[in-house]
Chains A and B, each alone.
Chain A
Amino acid sequence: MQGRRHAPPWWFTLPALLLFAFVVLLPSARGLHYAVTDWDGLNPDFTVVGLDNFTAMADDPDAFGAVRHTLVVAVAITVLQNGLGLLLALGVNSAIKSRDVLRVLLFAPAMIAQIVTAYLWRNLLGPDGAVNSALGAIGLGGLRRDWLGDPDLALWMIVLVVVWQYAGYSMVIFLAGLQSVPKEIYEAAAIDGTGPVRRFWSIIRPLLAPALTINLMLSIIGGLKLFDQVYAMTGGGPGHATDTISTLIYKEAFTLGEFGYSIALAVVLTVIVAVASGAQYTVLSRGERAAS
């Protein structure tokens, strides 16, 4: 009875719930509505076209390409960013003297706005940019390329730039996980004569499971929603060689005035993100439980 008297009234949550409904649920519901219309973003008169926008995607090679690029980019970024992030974390978790400086330097790119780094790398990777100049200067002129103008390379250049920027971010999360491992465990393992590989696999990996879950979730969602770097570095080109679902959504809405179709694409992206992150979370949380 005492507890009941002190429990806050349920309607205390109402302002937050209503705000959430107003700024999130209502626009989302309206978005779903627009996804089944032929709205051009400007004309107040539009008609409901049912699932036409979704069926049109089946005949749209640009949409297929964008989905393929999005999945490739998301997987590549997730694997490379976390692999590199883990290696960096292991490196700067050691007793080397300059580790504090290295931690700051490696984390620094993640603090810069994506659009800034994207324009920076667009210039560095240009035909007369610093990357080609450096290759020429060290006698590797044969490797000079039009890095962002080559449809076979451009998407991978974007992946590398994202990995360069956010590997330090993953590193910090892994580092927090590594530092939560009690020293005594390392000491016990050392006394038992455990090698570094065995130590990593049997001791560090299970204890890093929560950090791995967070990192993988963040990078897969970030990879699936990738926009800024692509738009600033290549604009989705050459042609559509680097278009992701996000850049296609932007182009359909703001360049072509196909808002209905664009929002339908956004719905598809939302479903892909929800399914991918949900599946990943299920698998990883099962792994965490098994490791603990």
Chain B
Amino acid sequence: MDKVMNLFLCGVGGQGILLASEVISSACIHSGFDVKQSEVHGMAQRGGSVISHIRFGEKVYSPLIEPGDADLVVSFELLEALRYLPYMNSNTRVIVNTQKILPAPVATGMDTYPADVLDQLKQRKLSVFPIDAFDIARSIGETRAVNMVLVGALSVFLPIQENIFMQVIEKRIPEKIRKVNIDAFLKGKETVRGMRTDS
């Protein structure tokens, strides 16, 4: 891999994006890549929009992905995928959790939630992989494992072996909830692999 790979994660404060980023970045290190991962804390934790940039490759300089340069986008919430369209290009693969979390203006009835998010993405010829990560996490018995479902889904497209992810999860996630997180990862991976038609 001579090119730096750009992963863009977006969603809502409290969805575990930062832990997911950490797991992915650690897996990148353990696979021998240089990595930079950037997120912004602060106000975003109060239910605001959250993004995380992960870049890995031989040598990474800038911590920030340029607009239009994301290779992979993982949107932890349906609507958030649309917010970050300018980071995508026609080759970007977009994994979208179809879970809806209403932004405050929608919850208070001042604005409406767009009805056709997936269509809007597809109209721009993006390869979209919709996945109901919340439902998958619920079926495993831990709704907070949504983030690991999505990491598993993303792993399908990364040059990183499954056992490396397993080692990282083993190290980073407390014993009590490790098993559900591993299950979540595997379920996410399996779901997206089933959708893949391009290899």
The answer to whether A binds B is no
Which A residues contact B (CB, under 8 angstroms)? none
